[in-house]
Amino acid sequence: MFRIVTDTSANLPTDYLHTEQITVIPYTFQSGKGEQSCMDLTTFDAKDFYAQMRSGVKVTTSQIPPQRYIDVLTPLLEAGEDVLFVSMSSGISGSYASGQIAARQLREEFPDRKLLLVDTYSASLGEGLLVMRAADCRREGLSIDETYKTLRALRHRMAQIFTVDDLRYLRRTGRLSNLEAAVGTVLQIKPLLKGDPQGKIVCFAKLRGRQRAVEAIAKRYEELVVDAQDQTVGIAHADCAPDAQILASLLRRSSKPPKKILTVDYEPVTGSHVGPGALALFFLSDENVRNI
Where does CATH 3.40.50.10170 sit in the chain?
3-156
Cβ–Cβ under 8 Å, residues 115 and 103:
yes
CATH topology of domain 3-156: Rossmann fold (3.40.50)
From the list 42, 54, 61, the residue with the least C-alpha distance to 265 is 42
Evaluated on CA atoms 79, 87, 173, 283, the torsion sign reads negative
Per-residue pLDDT of the chain (292 residues; tens, 9 = 90+): 899 999 999 999 999 999 999 999 999 999 877 788 887 777 889 999 999 999 999 999 989 999 999 999 999 999 999 999 999 999 999 999 999 999 999 999 999 999 999 999 999 999 999 999 999 999 999 999 999 999 999 999 999 999 999 878 877 766 554 456 556 666 788 999 999 999 988 888 989 999 999 999 999 999 999 999 999 999 999 999 999 999 999 999 999 999 999 999 999 999 999 999 999 999 999 998 999 8
Q: How far apart are CA 258 and CA 250, in angstroms?
A: 11
Burial per residue of 215-225, b for 16 or more beta-carbon CB atoms within 10 angstroms, e otherwise = ebbbebbeebb
pLDDT score recorded for residue 168: 81
Q: Report DSSP state, residue 231.
A: -
- CA distance linking residue 131 with residue 120, whole number of Å: 9
pLDDT of residue 176: 54
Q: What pLDDT, on the 0 to 100 scale, is given for residue 36?
A: 84
Task: Output the CA angle 283-84-198, nearest 5 degrees.
Answer: 50
Give the span between the Cα atoms of 190 and 30, in whole angstroms: 28
Stated as kind and residue range, the H or E segment containing 274 is: helix 268-274
CATH code 3.30.70.120 for 157-291: no
**Amino acid 186: pLDDT:** 63
Strand 28-31, strand 34-37: pairing: antiparallel
Do the bridges between strand 232-237 and strand 260-265 make them parallel or antiparallel, or are there none, so unpaired? parallel
Tens of pLDDT, residues 181-216: 556 666 788 999 999 999 988 888 989 999 999 999
Which run of H or of E encompasses 205? strand 201-208
- Give residue 172's pLDDT: 76
Burial of 280 (0-12, 13-18, 19+ CB in 10 A): buried
- In the chain, residues under CATH classification 3.30.1180.10 are 157-291
Question: DSSP per residue over 248-259, as a string?
Answer: HHHHHTSSS--S
